[in-house]
Amino acid sequence: MTDIMYREALRRALDEEMQRDPLVFIMGETIAERGGSYKVTEGLVKKYGPRRVVDTPIAEASFTGMAVGAALVGCRPVVEILFIDFAMLVMDQIVNQAAKYEFISGGQGKVPMVLRTQGGAGNGLAAQHSQSLEALFYHIPGLKVVMPATPHDACGLLKAAIRDDDPVIFIEHKLLYMTQGPIPDDEYVIPLGKADIKKPGRDATIITYSYMTLKCLEAAAALESEGISVEVVDLRTLTPLDKETILASVRRTGRAMVVHEACKRGGVGGDIAAMLMEEAYDDLDGPVVRVAGKNTPVPYNVRIEQACVPSVEDIVEGVLRML
């Protein structure tokens, strides 16, 4: 095992998959010579050349459409969209084309592409660069949505996403790039659709993903010192959703809380809460609790920004309220 940064884990996944399969190529704004704004693709253009590490113009709709076409003829493109906010520019290509092509072609065509992007609040980047929009893609049949929280998961899941025959939206939180964690020295792949219990517990289950996983683990450690044992389930993949792991955990603990940074209204948490009420009602000792971002655009002021997304204290308070 070696400790590396989240961004280095992503780079390792891209490097290994580009070595393994010559049909894998990457494209996005400033990803070649500059190595991307978050330095994920640093050094790859020297190794694979500009035909496989493609710097694009500021024209997200055009180059994402090109990636859909390339995937249809057998390539495996990985598109980088700098901020998830800019993914609004490619909704037609992703939602109306990539997500539906296999269905409308009767299975004759597939779109094995990955759209990498980053979202979430942090660093005072204001309302147009700080959104958590995963629920938009979660809602669309035909898309897979992946949101890893650790370097280990980022590397293994990105490799699986590139090998998958369906279009995958791979969302990285901007505050995770510099975090560190251990990953195996040997090559590995983590299958999509399998949640991970990051911390076992007996009194309540917290269901979460992406950067909130780290905050939930911190909250669980604080609660442990008060004699409260919380299980933290990191979904890792929103679509497909690992309902089996969620249900098994909630049936053990009897209580459930869903935590995400995206605003509460219309969020993934509401869908998971509904699923638990439909399929585990008799196993619950109380209502499902949601801890989520405020229903407001993310402000520029850093202090107000922090008040708009769940804190460790909010998560602790939510668990205490459940109990």
Q: Name the residues annotated as catalytic.
A: 60, 129
Total H helices, total E strands in the chain: 12, 14
Closest listed residue to residue 259, CA positions, set 204, 193, 304, 301? 204
Structure-block tokens of residue 276:
């638990």
**Residue 161: Cβ within 10 Å count:** 29
- Alpha carbon 224 to its chain centroid, in Å, reads 27
Interstrand relation of 168-173 and 114-119 (parallel, antiparallel or unpaired) = parallel
Which helix or strand (DSSP H or E) is residue 15 part of?
Answer: helix 6-20
- 168-173, strands of its sheet edge to edge: 53-55, 24-28, 76-81, 114-119, 168-173, 144-146, 237-239
